[in-house]
Each structure stands twice: as structure tokens, then as C-alpha cells.
Structure 1
């Protein structure tokens, strides 16, 4: 059987929201470039981007308590919260541009307005939440946030959470109405439909097996056509590896120096989904609590109103677990195969450092359904077992690397880009906040990998993303304008609040 050899300008590996975003940006900035996409599954957005495999929260640090930390002197550091909020504003702007340019349609099919609520119990946590509210509420990006520790007000905000609550323990919440629920699976599919209309070649059921540097500096990508069994060889000047948990192994195959001393730790997840429409109707919001001691940030418990398949639903979780797979559709050998001579010490150091996390994951794996119900009842006191089913969420791979601050084998809880010195290949690693900051992350890819084009692209980037290169927190008038315009374009305006 003959092999196939082809050349192109750009190859995107993985048909998730990251590749979709990068492809959409490049098609606006360099429409003449030829782009090919290779995805081993049968459709776009089937792994990490799928709506059942992530929280669907438009992560803007409006309710996620792990993005603000209490310092030794009792003050609250909001630096990370501000950064993540600004990054989400970039995504809103780009999505609005795509809608206004008629490149994608019906934004209500992928983004909906939903209140974001932080909910805590216990005197210590109430004190933390109040200080957090005071630190954030004067910031332009968080205007409209409310705080209350009065049960009557909390009943208005989250009646299902307060119904049947008999404990005398101190409780409090913050609420902001400008939050969003984002169906990243639907968005990903929309973006790939758009890319296909722009003559981007999308190859499903094609598994990338290897990447090799050629003599002229380009990359040869070995691809297996799952249906025909053919081996294909495609060369490109630039390759982006956006394969979710599968990105690490492909990055390692490039052999670039930047791929050394990096490992991955897989974490799986479960959500409980409500099957009783009467219960679903009683709740409207995303209610985030505090993570348990030793739990990874991605395991912050939350009770979420979600819009999936044009239907309002209610999810609680996630419950963390361990699987050696790096993808839901991956192999049980993924973790073992990721251990290389150059990262084994890094991995071992992480194992020693993260005994608390290991213990937590073991406890989570051993949880019975009744124990999960007990955790749910901290949010919904009257929850009934028969109203809730279990769904398997996505696999996430937390990056392990050597850092100056954390030393050898430090577990990273963010999203990061690893690229070669010459910018010819880049890979996206990590987890939350992930998809919410896709536009920010892909702009970083453009800046790292195409510095020679940024000056000529800058005016077009600013047309698509007006705040590009600017700080919204330092330009509240610009934030007001952008927040209002994107709310209107994305059909969020009825629920949005504007900073004054």
C-alpha cells in the first residue's frame, strides 16, 4: 500500500477548542496560508472540549475561590483573579468579532448568561470570603459583585441550596450576574464549521504517530489514517500540538530541548447530573465552594446550571480520581510511556512532594455513591439519591516540571505553551482555566512563534480584539465599552452589569 506525502503551511494536531481558536485567528491574519488539521476521533470537540468533559464555566475568577489567596498578613492577593478575568475578556471580544462578521452564528448556542456565586461555610471561610469581596468589589472588572451572610438574601440567590438547611454554622456568599455558562463543545464545532468553509482541510480519524525535523527546518508529521490503514507524511513550517492530554507524548517525540524535564500527572473526574426536571428548575447559577485540604484546584466543588443540547441541566462535582490514561480515549500505558530518562527524576520528585494529593485521589476513587451524596448535601441539604446520576468527565494532565520557585518536580495547575526556540512547533499543556482563556493562549502562540509577523498583524488583531496589548483594569472606560458591546453581540446584555 503506497504512502502519501504532502506539504502545507500549518498543521494543527487535535480538533479541540485550542486548535479551532488558533486556526480561526490565522485564517483572519494570513488567509492565504494552507492549514491542515488531524484528529484521531470522528468529530471535533470530542475530548477535553466536549461539553460533558469540562465545567462549562466562563472562567473569569468571578466565583472561583482558588484564584484568590490569603496572605500571611491576612490580605487577599487578587493578582491571579484579575489576570484570568482579563484573559476571558479577550475570548469574549474574539467571539463577538466572529459573530459580528457572520463567521459564526447563534451565540446563544454556546454562551449563556448565568450568575456566578461563591458559597462558603464556617467562620474562617466566611471571614475569607468577606475580605475577598472587599478586595475585588472596588476593581472595575468585578463591579456588580454583592456579598451577604443573611439567610433571607441567600434564599433569594440560591433557593435550592438554602432549602432545608438547619445548621447554625456561619455561611456567606457573593453573587455577580455577569457570569457565563459556555458550551465549549458547541463552540468548537462552530469554529471548525467556519474553518471548513475557509478551505481548511480537516482530517478526522487520523492519528498522529510521530514528528520529525527535516533538513530544511520544517516538520514531517507521520499520520495514520485509521479507516484506510494508510501511512501519510505531511510537512509544514509550523506545527501546533493541541491534543489535550495527548500533547505531552507528541511534544516529547519532537525531541526539542524545551520538551525535556517535563512530565504529566493524569487526573480523572466524575460529575453528578440531576435527572429530575423539578429540581433543575429550582436552581439558576454556578455556585462554587472551597476545595478540600489537599485537593487539586480543578476539584473545587461546584453546583452548576448548564445548557447542554439546548436543555437546562444541573451538575455537581467534580469528584477527582486517578487513571493512567492521558485521554478518555487513551491507553492505560500513557503514564508509563511518558516517563523518559530526561524526566524520571522530575517525576519521582513530584511523587515525593505530592503525597497529600495522592492520598486525596485514593480517597476520591474509593468514594461510594452515598459518600458522594453526602458531599452533594453540603450544597443541597434535601438532595435525593434517585434524582442524581453519575457521568464520567474528562481526563486532565497536570504539568510537572522543575521550577526556580518550587524546585524539582513541581506540579503546575495552569495552562502553558511550550515552544521551540525557533517557533516552528508549539504544544499546549495543562488544565484549568484552559478553554476560557483560549484566545489569550493562542495570542501567546502567535507572539512566540510568529514574531516576524506580529507588527504587520497588529492592526487586524486589534480589530478583532480591541483591548489587545492594553490592561482593562487600568482602562475602566475601555472595559465598560468592551463589556457592554460584547454582551450585546453575544446576547448577554439583559444580564450584564456595567462598571460605573
Structure 2
């Protein structure tokens, strides 16, 4: 990864000065929409806006030398096409033992919108061949122990009745599971209770490739996609536009532009920029950064024996994003296996962030919610400490719970991306740590930003559709015909219409070449 500019803590004072003092330059451009951050969210929103309003002047500012280098980079995320097919945290078990599938259904609905959008963009020539960013990869859940086996079976019985989960399979038979994923069964202890579910129509997504392709088309369509531009401040003008101050990260030349609408899709840095904008809606929000590492192998004999994404139960105290999984990954056409993630800690909000990030976010409005989160989550702190103490050997020991035959020498450690989990006020608890994504927008809809992490990338189309509804309510009626061309079931739910769900799943599978 190439980083043009990554100042350390000694740059923090200069950063604060730049954020509060006007640069001695005048705005050079006025954009209808300015997108800050070169990840999948800005790429998705930019693509939607360009399709809806081809005459708009749109700009994209990315602080690094290339787009898709933070959370959207293929090696910084799991690449799971999150449809809740295998993730147990989306189907919680209530105190009376029942399974609630509503969250899983909602996430699957959102992923289907992404699939429809990608299918339409392939047809329109925006995206390349499907295999350059998406590949069929069965999604599995594997558990051990009587309690978890009983839970997984109940989960299966609930989900198999849902149209969006048609085709889900369940087995406690070692011979069947061995056919699905041989590495799970080799040297497995006899007599150990275990079970697995499998959905053959799962996917692996290279969000880095997807993001780059979207930005390449935007640039070819006249959108200003500018790298090495770090946004320093946002100031609302009397006419309702935003004055955006930036500097070039090569040479540090300052500059200004104006924008009628601003989207902050800057990952963990979104909170910093939203705070500088001064909108009251960001008051009470903070973020907690959690890093990660993967174990990776590209050994052909291992890769050939595992063609699935296999999720399991999280450790006690672990955040949902740290659910262990053994995954097939296809990046730039090359297959490999990843296991993890193993949590790490850094005060940076981005992999290429600053050591002062976690402190610089503190404001009078968010300090109490953040303190309450710290008090209420001792299990998370204990989990992070235990993860930090694991060396390479201990990490491979964790892998052996999945793959008993794993050898230390076959696996290498790979640093994953940073995830900035949302902390915010809560009327009952005072403050909560929230897993997932959240859009924060101003009352007039002129600025919005995205906070949080997984399953954001997979559900990006749905999240951006929600943003359009919030920020451009007066334009939705005129946009609806085009939105329905891009996403035929726009405004509908699929799970409540089995025939439509089946038809959409089949059509997008054919368009994305993920038939199984």
C-alpha cells in the first residue's frame, strides 16, 4: 500500500490550526455533490448520483494516493457478501429459547439490493466481468458442543422457512460435512458433538476491485476523482452550501471548494470531519477503534480443500466483527485462505490514521457516553487484552478449533483494516457500543456521513438509498423510474413475496455468474 502522507502526533497541533483558521485561498470549484473518501460507500453513492443526475458536477476527494486502500481494500476485510446466511449474531436467541430471524432477513434484503445494482451496472457497462469482483463461495456455519449444536439446529429450522434462505442445508454427519469442507474434519476428535449449515449460493466479494471499477467509470464520465487530497475543515455558508478546505498531501498545497451537498464516507475519520462541520446531530457520538489480523495461506494443497466461508460462535466478550471464520478469498483472480480476525488495538481510526485520533474525538457532548461504554463492556476489554497477548503459535492454536490439522509453518500473519465501532448516547443506559453502520445527517440534508463497520460494504446500496431518501426527499419521485431500472424491487421487500424472491435470486445469480 502506498501512502503519500501520514503525519504522526507531532502534526496534530498544525491540524487543529488548519481546522480553525481559514486558508489564504479562494474556492476554485462549486460541486453539486462532493464525496469525501475513496471507499465503496462513496463509490456507490457517486454511481447512483451520476446515473440519476448525469449533468451534476460531482467530486471525490481521497487523502491517499489511490482509492480503495482502507476498509474497502480486499485484504482489510473478509470479503463476505454478508447476507446473514452464516453469521450467528444476526439470529439472536431470546431468553425463552426462540430464534428471532428478523435481523437476518433485513440484512439479506439489503444484500439483494446490492446484487441487483451490481447486475444492472454490469448490463450498463459500468462494471467488468462479474468474476473480477464476485465469486460463488458457499456460506457455512460450523459449531461444536451440545449447546451450540442445539442452537444451530433451531436456527436452521427457522431460516429454512424464509424465502431468502431457500436452499440452506443442515448436517451433524461428519461424512457430509467432510464433503462440504474437508479441512474441518481432518483429525477431528471422535465423539465430539458438531454440526454445520451450508448455503451453496453464498459469495466472496473483492470490494477493492469493485470500488476501483466504479471510480474508474465515474472518472471516465466526468466526475472529478481526486487522490492525495486531505479534507481539513467544513464550514457552512450563509447560502446553505459548504466550504470545504483541503490540502494536497504531496507538497501540502492548500485549497478550497464549495459544495451544495457533502457526503463523508471517510471510514473512521468520518466522525472527525462531521465534528468539524459543527452540525448538532453529531453531538454525543464517539467511535472505538478495533484493528485486526488474519492468518493467511496460499498453499495450493490447502486452498484446493476448502471452498467456503465458514463462520462460528464468537468468544465471550468478543465484538460481532471478531466472529472467527475460515474463508476462501479470491483477490485479483488468485485464491487463498484466511482465518480470523484476531483483534488488535491502535488509537488510529484508519490503518493510515494518526495516533491522536482516539483522543482528538473527545467533546463535552460525547465524553459521558464513551465513559459509560467503557464501564459497561469489561468483557470487551478483557477480550482485547487476551487477543493482544497471542503470538503466532497461539493464533494457529485458535485455527485448530476449525482445522485440527493446521501447521504453524503453513500460515502467515496479515494486518487487516481498522474498524471504528460507534459509541453514542442512549436514553436508558447513558451510552452504548453499537455494531453495524449508521448514517448521521444534518437537519437540512446538506451533509451526511457514515459511521460504523460491518456489514456496511455488502449493504452499501441499501444504505445509500436510505441516504438519498433522507437528504433528497424532494427529488425521489423524479428519481424513482431510474432507481427501479437499477434496482427492480426498489421500495419492496422480497422475503414476504416468495415467487418474486425466487425470481430475483435467479436473475441476479445469472447476471453475476454465481449459479451453483
Q: Could you say whether these structures have the same fold, taking a TM-score greater than 0.5 normalized by the shorter chain as the test?
A: yes
Say whether residues 1:267 and 2:290 are aligned partners. Answer: yes
Matched ranges for 1:277-316 at <5 A: 277-316=300-339
- Contact 1:4–1:231 (CA under 8 A) maintained in structure 2: no
Q: CA deviation at 1:407?
A: 2.0
Distance 1:275 1:489 in 2: 29
Q: CA deviation at 1:166?
A: 1.9
Match in the other structure for 2:379: 356
Q: CA deviation at 1:15?
A: 0.6
Match in the other structure for 2:216: 193
Distance 2:192 2:356 in 1: 46
TM-score (norm 2): 0.94
Say whether residues 1:64 and 2:64 are aligned partners. Answer: no
Match in the other structure for 1:38: 61
Match in the other structure for 2:151: 128
Q: CA deviation at 1:127?
A: 0.2
- Contact 2:366–2:425 (CA under 8 A) maintained in structure 1: no
Q: CA deviation at 1:228?
A: 3.6
Match in the other structure for 1:474: 496
Match in the other structure for 1:451: 473
Q: CA deviation at 1:275?
A: 3.6
- Contact 1:211–1:221 (CA under 8 A) maintained in structure 2: yes
Distance 2:163 2:365 in 1: 45
- Contact 2:126–2:213 (CA under 8 A) maintained in structure 1: no
Match in the other structure for 1:139: 162
Aligned counterpart in structure 1 of residue 341 of structure 2, from 318, 322, 332: 318
- Unpaired stretches in structure 1, ≥5 consecutive residues: 496-500
What SS class does the counterpart of residue 383 from structure 1 fall into? Answer: coil
- Unpaired stretches in structure 2, ≥5 consecutive residues: 1-22
The C-alpha deviation readout for 1:59-115, integer Å capped at 9, x for no partner, is 000001111011111110111000000000000000000001112111111000011
What is the aligned-residue RMSD (CA, Å)?
Answer: 1.0
The C-alpha deviation readout for 1:282-335, integer Å capped at 9, x for no partner, is 111000010011100000000000001210100000001111000000011000
- Contact 1:273–1:314 (CA under 8 A) maintained in structure 2: yes
- Contact 1:11–1:35 (CA under 8 A) maintained in structure 2: yes
- Contact 2:298–2:335 (CA under 8 A) maintained in structure 1: no
- Contact 1:221–1:234 (CA under 8 A) maintained in structure 2: yes
Aligned counterpart in structure 1 of residue 245 of structure 2, from 201, 205, 222: 222
Aligned counterpart in structure 2 of residue 417 of structure 1, from 413, 419, 439: 439
Distance 1:245 1:107 in 2: 29
Say whether residues 1:24 and 2:66 are aligned partners. Answer: no
Match in the other structure for 2:25: 3
Q: CA deviation at 1:186?
A: 0.3
Match in the other structure for 2:505: 483
Match in the other structure for 2:233: 210
Q: Tell me how many residue pairs correspond in the alignment.
A: 493
Match in the other structure for 2:204: 181
- Contact 2:136–2:514 (CA under 8 A) maintained in structure 1: yes
Distance 2:297 2:256 in 1: 47
Distance 1:182 1:167 in 2: 35
Match in the other structure for 1:441: 463
Match in the other structure for 1:498: none
Match in the other structure for 1:157: 180
Say whether residues 1:427 and 2:449 are aligned partners. Answer: yes
- Contact 1:260–1:342 (CA under 8 A) maintained in structure 2: yes
Match in the other structure for 2:102: 79
Distance 2:95 2:252 in 1: 59
TM-score (norm 1): 0.97
Say whether residues 1:342 and 2:341 are aligned partners. Answer: no
Match in the other structure for 2:257: 234
Distance 2:378 2:466 in 1: 33
Distance 1:167 1:76 in 2: 29
Distance 1:298 1:86 in 2: 20
Q: CA deviation at 1:2?
A: 7.0
Distance 2:481 2:298 in 1: 49
Q: CA deviation at 1:4?
A: 5.1
What SS class does the counterpart of residue 376 from structure 1 fall into? Answer: helix
What SS class does the counterpart of residue 229 from structure 1 fall into? Answer: coil
Match in the other structure for 1:332: 355
The C-alpha deviation readout for 1:156-193, integer Å capped at 9, x for no partner, is 11111101112422000000101000000000000001
Q: Which is worse superposed, 480-489 or 185-194?
A: 480-489
Q: CA deviation at 1:3?
A: 3.0
Distance 2:378 2:100 in 1: 27
Q: CA deviation at 1:37?
A: 0.5
Q: Which is worse superposed, 250-259 or 223-232?
A: 223-232
Match in the other structure for 2:272: 249
